[in-house]
Each structure stands twice: as C-alpha cells, then as structure tokens.
Amino acid sequence: MKKNRCALLTSFLLCLFLPGILDAQSKTTHPLDPLRTEDYWAIYDVLQSSGHIDADTLFASVLLHEPPKEKVLAWKTGDPISREADVILLRKGATFEALVDIAGHKLESWKEVPGAQAPIIRGEFRELGEIIKKDPRVKEALAKRGITDLNTVECVPVPYGYFAIPEQEGHRLGIGGCSNLHGVYHGWGRAIEGLTIIVDYAEKKVVKIIDDGAVPVPDGPITYEEAPAIPRAGTTPLSISQPLGPAFQIKDGEVLWQNWHFRFRLDPRVGPIVNLVRFDDGTRLRSVMYEGAWSELYVPYMHPATGWATRVFLDAGEFYHGGTIKSLREGMDCPSNAVYFNGLANDDKGAPVLRPRQACLYERFTGDEAWRHGEGGEVWGRPSRTLVLRTAAVIGNYDYILDWRFEQDGSIRVVVGATGVIETMSVAAESAGAHAAAGGLEDYGHLVAKNTLGVNHDHFFCFRLDLDVDGQNNTFMAHRLVQKKLPPATHRKTVWVDEPFTAHTESDAMLDIHLEKPSMWMFINSSAKGPLGHPTGYEIMPGVTAASLLDPDDGPQKMGAFSAHQLWVTPYRPNEIYAAGLYPMAGKGNDGLAIWTKENRKIENTDIVAWYTMGFHHVPREEDWPVMPVMWHDFVIRPFDFFPQNPVLTLPQAP
C-alpha cells in the first residue's frame, strides 16, 4: 500500500525527498558510502596518534577501502558497517601506505613503498613553481627573452613520467616551463617556449635548465569568457519543466528510478563510482553491475621536442590530489531539474575539504522514442526519458564531462565529453603555409592561432566494469560474426553466421575492434537461464574508439598499456582497480592491467571484470581554440537475453 501511494499524484510530494537528497549522503548508512567528515578526522587521529605524522608529512590520498565484495553483498540494513581507508602519505620523497580501521580507530598496517611515487600534491605545484622563479638560471633565461617582471610569470612543473633515464632512479622529478600572464587572465596558450626546467619535488630544487632558445610568446586572444556574447537572432526561451520535482528517490544513499536501483559515491581519485546496479524486473531485483567507474585516463602528447616528449599523463592516477572531479555550474552543466551532490576530498594535511556540486542527477528529456512502429497507417510507440548522473573532471587544461545514463530499456550509456583548453606550443610560425614549406611544423600538431601550435595527442579513458549479471559467476563470450560459404544450390554464395566463442582465460579476452572481424562482447550467466534456455547476459557495445599507435615497448606506453586493446577481462580481485597501477606517477609499468593479465588467469564461470577503453586521437583544429567545443564519445552496456521481452514494451503513454 505504501508503494502504491507514491504513484498517486496527490501524495507525490510526501514521497519525494527534495530537501533530504543532499542529506542522504551525509550519514553513513551503507558499507559503500563515501568517507564522511568524521571519517577523515578519525583517519587523521589514528595516524597522528600512531606517531607517523610530522611537519613534513603530506596526505597524498585518502580513499575508502571497499570492504570485500562478499561482505558487501551479505550486508543488510542494521548490520554493523565496517569502515576502512587506504591512505598514501608522502614524506620528503618517500611514499608510505597506511590502512586505517576507522570504526575501530586502529592503524591496521603501515609501510614504506620503495620506488613508488605518491600522486602529485597540489602544494608541490605551487611550491616548486615559486622555487623555479627564484632560480638564477631561470631568471637569466627569462631575461634573455626580455622578461624581467616575474610577477606576471607562472611556472608549473608536471610529473616527468618514466623514461628509463638514470637521473630518475630514487627521485621525484617534475618537468615544466613558464607562461607569461601579462595582459590575460590565464596562462594557457602563453607558453614561454624553449625553456624547459627539471625539478626535484622532494629536494625542492631545480635540477636542470634546458634553454633551446627563445620563441615568441603568442599574443592572440585567449579570453574565452570575456569574448563578446553575440545574440543568435530569433532565439526564444527553451526550458525543461518538472514542476512536481525529480522522479527519482534516494533512500539511504540508494537511487531508485523507475526499475533501476543503484548507489554511487564520489571518489577523489576516479570520480563517480556506481555500485550495486540492479534492475527490478517486476518480480525481483536483479544484479547487473557490482561496480563501474573510470579506472584511469591516459593522455600522451605526440611532439618529440624537449619538454613535450615527456607529456604523457595518467590524468586520474597522477593528478587526483584534491579530487579529480570538480564543481558543476547550475543551469549550464546540468539543467534546471537537476539535483546536486557535494563531495569531500582530503587536503595535504589530511583534513577534509567540502566541495560543492560535484555531481548532479537529473532526468533527461530526450524527445526520443523508446520504441515505435508504423502499422496500418498509424504510429505506435512510447516516448522515453533517461536518468543522468553527471560529473566533470578538470585536469589542468582539460575538462571531461562524464555521464552515467540509465535508460528505461535496461541499457546504461556511458558518455564522455572532452572540452576545455587544448595544450599548445608556442612556435615562430604565424601561419601554416604549405605543410612541407613550414618544415613539417604540422607533423606533430596543428596551428590553431598565430604562433600557437595545438599539439597532437590521444585521450584514452579506461572503464572498470565489474558486471555481475544475475550474480557473480559470469562468463565472457565473444560472438564472432564470420562469413560462411553456401552450397552452390543456394544461388546466393554467402551469409555470415554467429560463432560464439567462450573465453577461458584472460588472453582469450584481449580484444580489438576490427570491422572485417566483428564480434559481440557478451557477459553471461550460464546458470541463470531465461525462458528460452539462453543464459542471461549483458553486452558491451563499443562506441567510436581508438587504439594506441605507440610502440608497446615505449616507456609511456608501458604505463598506458591498457590502451593496446579495447577490451580486457580479468577475474575479480579486490586490489585490481587501477588500469595503470596504483602508482602511475613515474611508474615503470610494473603494475596494472597488462601486468596482472600476464598470468593468463581463468575467467570462465567465475566473478569477472570487464575493462573497456574509449579513446580518440586529437589533431586540434582552429575551432578548438581558445576553448574547445565539447567532443562527445560513448559506449553502451545493454541487456542481451536478460529480459524475456522488450522491457520498454510496457511503458506508459506519457513520457
């Protein structure tokens, strides 16, 4: 009866959690809830009282340590909630790992991790930036370029990556350069090119200056927000209206929308983590995915110049201090019917920082059909709507919008929008001229403005998708579509047939997309058969994507090795979360997906995890400057024989 009341228009408002939505995130009600303010301080207290914190100790990372999956699945409301945290600390270049039992106020483990580099800490950028500016060699190099007022200069060293050079061993190196902000309000596009500075973050010093000679600093317009807004003639107001409020509910941190149930938390490292994604098929709540999230973002640049060849970023694992995702802007990032969620991340002293609007949740008015058919001169069908969980990461110059879109038909569409400011190299050339005449200038990038080369690069977004289709024991099958010759009597010579292939071990499931060898990627539960005898399943349908073109033996590519295949499947292991490993900063490629799978473990009829990489090559164009229109990419996780019929067949007539 209680459930039915909610469906009645008159009692809608009683059933909605409008003011309660944000609060729903503010107390711990589930083992997968994010760390709360009191958790951060409990962690701090445990570490402080254990004597491990001194004035030089920096908190690089404080993340929820998820309880073992079987414990989470067995957990019921009212059961005690165990809380643990993984902490990475940095002290004078040394990296320490702690596991803290929050509820028990206990340090469970503490160890130094030799050779590992903690992710870069925001304060390190600032501190080393100032040190660079005080270095006489830098001052001299800038003076040579006519820059003597250092107030307008900004210098930023970024992680060096791993390039197998002796200088790196045992050091925490950064490499970077300076920009001149004079006359503008941000430094992107104002690089003082030709001056490369290598720093040691731990020793807080400039290690080396490389001066390849002055290049003019571009002076074209880069003022994205101050550009005059030009009204589009005839524009009339267009808005979304949901007068009775959102159609989803949040109960103890669980989102309920139509037939979908899921949880999410905002993780400082990988952003939104969706959990316990289940679909109510009318008879029972069925598991689709235990967990889905970004695992790593890999952005290698393609210029061989000093200071550029080293720009090979693992955007999540290197840069997440303070939180990979950032605030959304109301009405711009999300429509007026969105509900926002705050988030917490640690600062370098371990204190929580409350950050507004880290995610939004809203129903998207699609204007599209869920299904339709014209028959007998009439049109039949149903309009659709979608639930969107949106966040936006900002990693320096780039912004990545990330949507988890829950569709009524049981599909989950994952969408990434790349926008922000491209990285540019200052060059002498004012125009492109003929490609050859410009000395191969545009081999490595594309001139986007006078003296401004948008440098070519890739984006690879690796998603860790712990699908649990109707339970944990799943099998991955590639349905290969293969040409078959027909006997001569058929007249027709060929058809294609569906040849299902069961992946027994990890090497069977390292898959690349080839148009001439298509295959469907299916995650099935062979002990949960539907009424027709098919195993129930979910399919990952790739969208437009790309494969890395770098030599697998190249240092950077060893770190981003997950980009070598579009799909990998591994057996579930609680500590295999990050596709480029736990410590990608200056990592040597000895952790991560490509390493774990070397064992070629069994993946049949067991708890398995899919890793899908969405990628694109980016040759910037003039339209990408001074800020880039959003470029969208997506992929879909859709039911395949999970439902015995079209799940949107029974939608009501109104959207």
Interface stretch with its own copies, choices 36-44, 48-56, 94-102, 446-454 (CB under 8 A): 446-454
Angle between helices 136-144 and 122-134 (to 10 degrees): 70
Return the residue matching tokens 């949740």: 361
Nearer to its own copies by Cβ, of 192 and 422: the residue is 422
Tell whether the torsion through CA atoms of 237, 243, 247 and 249 is positive or negative: positive
Tell whether the torsion through CA atoms of 524, 526, 531 and 533 is positive or negative: positive
Nearer to its own copies by Cβ, of 136 and 629: the residue is 629
Nearer to its own copies by Cβ, of 263 and 446: the residue is 446
624 is catalytic: no
Nearest Cα neighbor of 316 from 388, 390, 389, 398 is 398
Q: How far is the CB of 417 from its own copies (least distance, A)?
A: 7
For residue 333, state whether it binds its own copies (rule: CB under 8 A): yes
Nearer to its own copies by Cβ, of 59 and 308: the residue is 308
Pairing relation of β-strands 106-112 and 94-101?
Answer: antiparallel
Nearer to its own copies by Cβ, of 69 and 480: the residue is 480
Task: Specify the amino acid at residue 349.
Answer: K
Q: How far is the CB of 496 from its own copies (least distance, A)?
A: 4
Task: Please tell me the count of residues contacting its own copies according to CB under 8 A.
Answer: 182
Q: Which residues lie closer than 8 Å to 102 by C-beta, 6 or more apart? A: 35, 39, 42, 43, 46, 83, 84, 85
For residue 19, state whether it binds its own copies (rule: CB under 8 A): no
Q: Which residues lie closer than 8 Å to 451 by C-beta, 6 or more apart? A: 215, 216, 217, 218, 219, 220, 426, 427, 428, 429, 430
Q: Which one from 315, 468, 607, 624 is the annotated catalytic residue?
A: 315
Of 443, 574, 600, 606, the residue at the interface with its own copies (CB under 8 A) is 443
For residue 501, state whether it binds its own copies (rule: CB under 8 A): no
Q: Which residues lie closer than 8 Å to 502 by C-beta, 6 or more apart? A: 475, 476, 477, 508, 604
CA distance 639 to 13: 33
Binding mask 633-652 for its own copies (x = CB under 8 A): -----xxxxxxxxxxxxxxx
Is residue 561 within a helix (H) or strand (E), and if so which, with residue range? none
Of 253, 271, 317, 556, the residue at the interface with its own copies (CB under 8 A) is 556
Nearest Cα neighbor of 478 from 557, 552, 537 is 537
For residue 428, state whether it binds its own copies (rule: CB under 8 A): no
Q: How far is the CB of 447 from its own copies (least distance, A)?
A: 5
Hey, how many other C-beta atoms are within 10 angstroms of the C-beta on 7? 9
For residue 488, state whether it binds its own copies (rule: CB under 8 A): no
Q: Kindly identify the residues of this chain, within the stretch 565-604, that bind its own copies according to CB under 8 A.
A: 566
Hey, how many other C-beta atoms are within 10 angstroms of the C-beta on 585? 27
Q: How many CA atoms lie within 13 A of 362 on its CB side?
A: 20
Interface stretch with its own copies, choices 86-94, 268-276, 288-296, 534-542 (CB under 8 A): 534-542
Nearer to its own copies by Cβ, of 143 and 165: the residue is 165
Hey, how many other C-beta atoms are within 10 angstroms of the C-beta on 279? 23
Of 29, 82, 152, 249, the residue at the interface with its own copies (CB under 8 A) is 249
For residue 232, state whether it binds its own copies (rule: CB under 8 A): yes
Of 37, 50, 109, 494, the residue at the interface with its own copies (CB under 8 A) is 494
Of 14, 367, 488, 575, the residue at the interface with its own copies (CB under 8 A) is 367
- 3-state SS class at 9: helix
Nearer to its own copies by Cβ, of 303 and 321: the residue is 303
Phi, psi of 246 (to 5 degrees): -65, 150
Of 302, 478, 528, 585, the residue at the interface with its own copies (CB under 8 A) is 302
Nearer to its own copies by Cβ, of 83 and 364: the residue is 364
Q: Kindly identify the residues of this chain, within the stretch 97-136, that bind its own copies according to CB under 8 A.
A: none
Q: How far is the CB of 482 from its own copies (least distance, A)?
A: 8
Of 111, 251, 450, 573, the residue at the interface with its own copies (CB under 8 A) is 450
Phi, psi of 544 (to 5 degrees): -60, 130
For residue 191, state whether it binds its own copies (rule: CB under 8 A): no
**Number of residues in the chain:** 655
For residue 515, state whether it binds its own copies (rule: CB under 8 A): yes
Interface stretch with its own copies, choices 74-82, 85-93, 96-104, 474-482 (CB under 8 A): 474-482
Q: How far is the CB of 24 from its own copies (least distance, A)?
A: 15
Q: How far is the CB of 41 from its own copies (least distance, A)?
A: 24
Q: Which residues pair with 631 in a beta bridge?
A: 418
Q: Kindly identify the residues of this chain, within the stretch 368-427, that bind its own copies according to CB under 8 A.
A: 368-377, 379-385, 388, 392, 394, 399, 401, 408-411, 417, 419-421
Q: Which one from 340, 398, 538, 612 is the annotated catalytic residue?
A: 398
Q: How far is the CB of 552 from its own copies (least distance, A)?
A: 10
CA of residue 33 relative to chain centroid, distance: 19
Nearer to its own copies by Cβ, of 109 and 646: the residue is 646
Is there a contact between 556 and 300 (Cβ–Cβ < 8 Å)? yes
Q: Judging by beta carbons within 10 Å of its beta carbon (0-12, 13-18, 19+), is residue 385 exposed, middle or buried?
A: buried
Nearer to its own copies by Cβ, of 146 and 488: the residue is 488
Q: How far is the CB of 254 from its own copies (least distance, A)?
A: 13
Q: b/e map of 304-314 (b: 16 or more CB within 10 Å)?
A: ebbbbbbbbbb
Q: How far is the CB of 187 from its own copies (least distance, A)?
A: 10
Is there a contact between 561 and 593 (Cβ–Cβ < 8 Å)? yes
Looking at residue 269, the DSSP 8-state letter turns out to be T
40 is catalytic: no
Nearer to its own copies by Cβ, of 55 and 515: the residue is 515
Is there a contact between 599 and 456 (Cβ–Cβ < 8 Å)? no
Q: Kindly identify the residues of this chain, within the stretch 76-95, that bind its own copies according to CB under 8 A.
A: none
For residue 169, state whether it binds its own copies (rule: CB under 8 A): no
Is there a contact between 87 and 97 (Cβ–Cβ < 8 Å)? yes
Is there a contact between 394 and 421 (Cβ–Cβ < 8 Å)? no
For residue 546, state whether it binds its own copies (rule: CB under 8 A): yes
- 3-state SS class at 207: strand
Q: How far is the CB of 69 from its own copies (least distance, A)?
A: 28
Q: Which residues lie closer than 8 Å to 264 by C-beta, 6 or more apart? A: 255, 272, 273, 274, 275, 359, 389, 404
Of 54, 149, 169, 553, the residue at the interface with its own copies (CB under 8 A) is 553
Nearest Cα neighbor of 633 from 547, 562, 545, 530 is 545
Of 22, 81, 209, 520, the residue at the interface with its own copies (CB under 8 A) is 520
Looking at residue 601, the DSSP 8-state letter turns out to be -
Binding mask 25-64 for its own copies (x = CB under 8 A): ----------------------------------------
For residue 210, state whether it binds its own copies (rule: CB under 8 A): no
CA distance 481 to 514: 11
Phi, psi of 518 (to 5 degrees): -70, 150
Nearer to its own copies by Cβ, of 55 and 654: the residue is 654
Q: How far is the CB of 214 from its own copies (least distance, A)?
A: 22
Which residues are part of the catalytic machinery?
Answer: 315, 398
